[in-house]
């Protein structure tokens, strides 16, 4: 991680592929930990927020300049000095569990470690990881996406904040992303009318294939026009913020629920966009809930793992994975994810096995 970006992170400037450090795989000391080879790494919008001036506080610490960035990833164990893990096992990191520890009990004191964006790692015995039991033989993209942090976000956030009622109209922005596409499918499974938006015609087709009743390209049709026709809306799942949130607020029914999951339209902007329709929260008795998945993850974890892996394996829950092959392409892949060039769960495949 070379430089704090202003605007979109530029490949080769913000993130640089650095071959200067090598590791002696046969002789490196493990000190009771494990030696892993990185297979797949997750690219998520929230990583942009970690590319900031380290003096600015937020729920997740800033990345450290000169060090690799890190996030959830799947690795294979090459050597282990820890009895609970064997060579050949696959391990997955869970950055949300670590955020939970870091944000709420010991703020800012801990450097969070997840999976570093590097080819090999020595992971100390104190670090948290989970050995993957891949009983349904699913892809690593599924583990990092629909079954990973974004999947938990959609599943748990809906259960905690949506309060769906028969006949409700739901609007989902960034509907072709991992979070949005799972929210659409959950809302449809509850028999609700779903309106969803995305930024290309291919993404709109994908959203339709998930069962959305109305799918539109927000770059071609104004969100406010579509919602005026299809609303009023009872639930808005907000992945985007800014103008889209404003249009959704204007289109609410009384006592609508607004679930503020993300505001990606602001992530690369100099300053957050202003929202003009917030006053409607009072007159329409809106319930506006912002959340971080880390804080509600434990409550729904068991139910999530009981239901979702089976549903994904059987095809009842659909998901898309976009793989970028090669760690050196991370910078471009990250920008493509943020700008919407690619769709679905974006991962970097560092090695196949």
Chain residues 140-159 in contact with ligand NDP, contact rule CB under 6 A: 149-150, 153
Considering only 7-15, 161-169, 249-257, 289-297, which stretch makes contact with ligand NDP by CB under 6 A? 289-297
What is 235-278 written as a DSSP string?
EEEESS-HHHHHHHHHTEEEEEEEEE---HHHHTSSSPPP-S-T
Nearest to 43, CA basis, from 341, 266, 338? 338
Is 98 a residue that touches ligand NDP (CB under 6 A)?
no
The DSSP element (H or E) to which 311 belongs, if any, is: helix 293-314
Is 331 a residue that touches ligand NDP (CB under 6 A)?
no
Torsion of CA 345, 346, 349, 353, to 10 degrees: -10
Considering only 2-10, 44-52, 69-77, 87-95, which stretch makes contact with ligand NDP by CB under 6 A? 44-52
Q: Which residues contact 289 (CB under 8 A, 6 or more apart)?
A: 160, 161, 257, 258, 259, 260
Would you say 36 or 94 has its CB closer to ligand NDP? Answer: 94
Among 39, 162, 169, 176, indicate the residue that binds ligand NDP (CB under 6 A). 176
Among 91, 102, 251, 337, indicate the residue that binds ligand NDP (CB under 6 A). 337
Would you say 199 or 309 has its CB closer to ligand NDP? Answer: 199
Would you say 232 or 340 has its CB closer to ligand NDP? Answer: 340
Query: What binding mask, one character per residue, do residues 180-199 give for ligand NDP by CB under 6 A, x or -?
Result: x-----------------xx
Q: Are 185 and 210 in contact (CB under 8 A)?
A: yes
Is 177 a residue that touches ligand NDP (CB under 6 A)?
yes
Cβ–Cβ contacts within 10 Å for residue 105, how many?
9
Would you say 145 or 309 has its CB closer to ligand NDP? Answer: 145
Q: Are 78 and 36 in contact (CB under 8 A)?
A: yes
């Amino acid at each position: 991680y070379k430089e704090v970006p202003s605007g979109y992170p530029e490949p080769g400037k913000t993130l640089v592929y650095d071959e200067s450090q090598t590791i002696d795989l046969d002789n490196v000391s493990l000190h009771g930990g494990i030696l892993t080879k990185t297979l797949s790494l997750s690219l998520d919008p929230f990583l942009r927020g970690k590319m900031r001036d380290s003096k600015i506080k937020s729920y997740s610490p800033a990345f450290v300049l000169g060090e690799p960035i890190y996030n959830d990833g799947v690795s294979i164990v090459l050597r282990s000095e820890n009895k609970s893990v064997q060579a050949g096992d696959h391990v997955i990191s869970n950055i949300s569990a670590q955020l939970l520890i870091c944000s709420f009990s010991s703020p800012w004191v801990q450097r969070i470690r997840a999976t570093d964006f590097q080819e090999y790692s020595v992971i100390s015995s104190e670090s948290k990881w989970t050995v993957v039991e891949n009983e349904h033989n699913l892809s690593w993209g599924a583990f990092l996406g629909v079954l990973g942090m974004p999947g938990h976000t959609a599943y748990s956030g809906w259960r905690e904040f949506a309060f769906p009622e028969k006949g409700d109209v739901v609007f989902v922005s960034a509907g072709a992303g991992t979070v949005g596409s799972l929210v659409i499918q959950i809302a449809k499974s509850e028999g609700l009318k779903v309106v969803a938006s995305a930024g290309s015609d291919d993404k709109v087709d994908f959203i339709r294939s998930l069962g959305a009743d109305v799918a539109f390209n927000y770059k071609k049709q104004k969100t406010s026009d579509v919602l005026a026709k299809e609303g009023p809306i009872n639930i808005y799942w907000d992945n985007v913020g800014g103008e889209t949130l404003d249009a959704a607020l204007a289109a609410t029914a009384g006592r609508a629920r607004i679930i503020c999951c993300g505001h990606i339209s602001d992530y690369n902007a100099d300053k957050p966009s202003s929202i003009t329709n917030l006053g409607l929260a009072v007159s329409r008795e809106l319930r506006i809930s912002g959340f971080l998945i880390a804080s509600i993850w434990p409550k729904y974890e068991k139910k999530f793992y009981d239901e979702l892996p089976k549903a994904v394996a059987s095809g009842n829950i659909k998901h898309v994975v976009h793989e970028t092959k090669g760690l050196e392409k991370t910078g471009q892949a990250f920008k493509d994810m943020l700008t919407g060039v690619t769709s679905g769960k974006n991962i970097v495949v560092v090695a196949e096995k």
